[in-house]
A and B are shown apart, each in its own frame.
Chain A
Amino acid sequence: MVTKSSPRDLEKEIFDLEDRLQNAKTRLALSSGQEPGGDSYLPPPPYQETDSLLSSHALFLLSDSALPLGSFAYSSGLESYLAHNKPLPPKVTPVASFQRFLKLSITSMASTSIPYVLAAYRHPEDLETLDNDMDASTPCVVAQRASIAQGRALLGVWERAFRGTYASGPFLAGVAAARAVKTVEAFSDALKSCSDAADDLGPKGHFAPIWGIVCLIMGMDARQTAYVFMLNHAKAVLSAAVRASVMGPYQAQAILASKDLQDIIIERIDREWNTPVEDAGQVVPPLDLWVGRHELLYSRIFNS
């Protein structure tokens, strides 16, 4: 038998084992003649659950579509894709064409950004280098603008909203998170003092690395961090599709809820789980063209 050791499998195994332990304890209590609870009240949740509730709280905050990052101003190339593929071949429905785009977009987002999200999560002290390398790897100004705007917005939300609660600890992620708070602070100061000139190679504030480090500080685990990043991207693309009249809101929710979408996000995260940032790259070359040519659209409702 092959022993699988991906973090997901291990988490599942731990969950299974805990479940069996709980089950065995209940049976022991029953067989030794004691009433399991004595009354109908549930026992207080064990300490670990409180812990995971705390990290769930951060998860709910960061996955909330009301998180003011301005993500919905960007279609990540969808608007340009639609314009470039007009008119559609007779047998292709708009929704099928959109499904193709969504899949390509998720795949590309994972291969270009997940390594940076995870690197910032695992090595928060490298934030400035990661930000520089991400900037160097983003091939067009349209994508650069979108990433920087959302990264700076997240930094703003951190400073004005989350810092009060999360900067002082206790940190679920321990010492690493405490150090990460200092890194974010220093990075933010450097960002404010640097000019916006195009030739300036100072910090830029790209979204992926800042997402990784903020999630670390707020106690999310690495998998959640990557998953919510991808899911938020899918949400933004689907929301853009609704506003671009590709489909209705219920259909969009159906796609968002679908097993297909869950599977592809998990598959892409697994694939990029150990990719070093040096090997991050574009896997969908036409996407760079669609995003870059967004500026050539005659009429635009999105910023990218």
Chain B
Amino acid sequence: MQITSSIMPIKSPFEASIAKPGQGNVVLSLLPPSNPTLTTLTYKYPLKLLTRTPGYVPQSSALSCPVSRPVHLYLLTYGGGLLPGDHIEVTIKLEQYTRMVVTTPQGTTKIYKTEPSKSIKGRRAPGRVLSDKSRQTLDVRIEKGAALCYLPDPAVPYKDSRYEQVQTFTVDSTTKAPQRSSLCMLDWVTEGRKSRGENWDFHLWKGKNEIYSVDESGKKKLLLRDSLILDEELDEGSLEDEHETLNRTGVIRERTRPHGIVGTLILYGPVFERLADFIMDRFTSQPRIGARNWSSSAPAAVEAPPNFDSKVHFTAARVRAGFVLVKFGADDFQTAKDWLGNILREEGTVVNEFGEEALCCL
């Protein structure tokens, strides 16, 4: 930080807003006639933001208005994950009628282990031994007619890690259906590194996804909140004693059984309407649980051919305000990835509107 300021003779007026490590700020505007341009792009270590406009032009779209080219934003961190104490804070603004694809090209977001810091341990500050949580916030404003497709890789929390993420999306509520903002976002978390025998062995994983609407007067209203808290519920009082080893409570494992990965997909707005219908159909047309063939002449129950849907437990619901909320749980990452990738490719909206690359994590 000091080096930067010594090189730059004139202080940028924007510097104050990006002074903190891990902060990033992106504004995507549509310049006339139809030219998506990043009017702001700043970031600071350990965060790195790369963008690319692949030149993919949607040939047909669910929107009737002219469609702009999607711009890709890659969320990168040094080391492909978050170290204890890292705070990533990304703010994105999609101005009217722009489109953005956000992915994580480094693969899964690794949440590294939180070591109790020696100096803090020495002082024996109660409740501080487990501090150094890593944290990520994403705050996206999606204006009228704009669309965001955010399909990242899952988070992989390592053993003993502590992590919290808050993702806030603000959509425009003043416009009516065909001009509404559109959002497709995926949030999933795995049990850890399965190859190393990790099985929900982290201390804390908190993920909150909130969608607000804002009207002309700037008044916010909560439309949807999806909050998952996986907490080992360690007794922090007992950590004051340096020699005491942490007793694993195993409650996260107990509360996630039988799944090795759980996730949420949220769909909103005109661009994803068809995809939302497709998934709702897929859910309601699943075979009934516990169904039997009562006709006496029928042969013994025929085992249904194994397909993705039978390996993944999922539910889809049209909750409110036009949102479709999909929740799923599966044995492992690969199963969930195959299942979701298969649905999104078969239906085609994401590829049509944003290009094949939007599915790069699936």
Contacts and interface: CB of A to CB of B under 8 A. Distances in A.
A289 B315 contact: yes
Contacts of B289: 80, 83-84, 293, 296-298
Contacts of A282: 227-229
A83 B259 contact: no
B102 interface: no
- For chain B, the bracket of interface size reads 35 or more
A258 interface: no
A140 B10 CA distance: 54
Of the listed residues A284, A285, A293, the one surrounded by the most CB atoms of chain B closer than 10 A to its CB is: A285
A111 to B, nearest CB: 7
A140 B264 CA distance: 12
Contact of B321 (A201, A289, A292, A296): A201
A199 B321 contact: yes
B317 A140 contact: yes
B288 interface: yes
Of the listed residues A136, A284, A289, A293, the one surrounded by the most CB atoms of chain B closer than 10 A to its CB is: A136
Contacts of B257: 286
Contact of B227 (A281, A286, A299): A281
Interface of A is mostly: helix
A133 B256 CA distance: 25
B230 to A, nearest CB: 7
A107 B208 contact: no
Given A83-B290, A201-B320, A286-B259, A281 B223 contact: no
Contacts of A86: 290
B224 interface: yes
A288 B264 CA distance: 11
B329 A285 contact: yes
Contact of A281 (B208, B262, B286, B287): B208
Contacts of A249: none
Interface in B303-359: 313-322, 325, 327-329
B325 A285 contact: no
Interface string B209-241: 000000000000111111111110100000000
Of the listed residues A132, A142, A199, A282, the one surrounded by the most CB atoms of chain B closer than 10 A to its CB is: A282
A286 B258 contact: yes
A35 interface: no
Given A281-B208, A283-B230, A286-B329, A136 B224 contact: yes
A63 interface: no
B231 A141 contact: no
A19 to B, nearest CB: 29
Contacts of B226: 137, 139
A279 B314 contact: no
A198 interface: yes
Interface of B is mostly: strand
Contacts of B313: 84, 286, 289, 293
Given A285-B329, A296-B286, A297-B289, A136 B225 contact: yes
Contacts of B288: 296-298
B300 interface: no
A141 B228 contact: no
Contacts of B321: 199, 201
Contacts of B319: 138-141, 144
A293 B315 contact: yes
A255 interface: no
Nearest to A107: B255
A285 B256 contact: yes
Interface string B251-265: 000111111001000
Given A282-B228, A289-B314, A289-B329, A199 B286 contact: no
Given A132-B221, A140-B319, A283 B329 contact: no
A266 interface: no
Interface in B183-221: 206, 208, 221
Contacts of A285: 228, 230, 255-256, 259, 262, 327, 329
A289 B327 contact: yes
A286 B315 CA distance: 10
A247 interface: no
B292 interface: yes
B325 A140 contact: yes
Contact of B223 (A80, A100, A136): A136
A204 to B, nearest CB: 9
A278 B329 CA distance: 24
B292 A298 contact: yes
A280 interface: yes
Given A83-B290, A132-B222, A292-B327, A283 B315 contact: no
Interface in B139-170: none
B221 A201 contact: yes
Contacts of B290: 83, 86, 297-299
B291 interface: yes
Contacts of A299: 290
A130 to B, nearest CB: 11
A16 B221 CA distance: 47
B229 to A, nearest CB: 5
29 contacts: A80-B289, A84-B289, A104-B255, A132-B222, A136-B222, A136-B320, A137-B225, A139-B319, A144-B319, A198-B318, A199-B320, A201-B221, A279-B227, A280-B227, A281-B227, A282-B228, A282-B229, A283-B228, A283-B255, A285-B256, A285-B259, A286-B255, A286-B259, A288-B315, A289-B314, A289-B329, A292-B327, A295-B284, A299-B290
Given A133-B225, A297-B289, 11 more contacts: A80-B289, A132-B222, A136-B225, A140-B325, A141-B317, A283-B228, A283-B229, A284-B256, A285-B259, A286-B313, A298-B288
Interface of B: 206, 208, 221-231, 233, 254-259, 262, 284, 286-292, 313-322, 325, 327-329
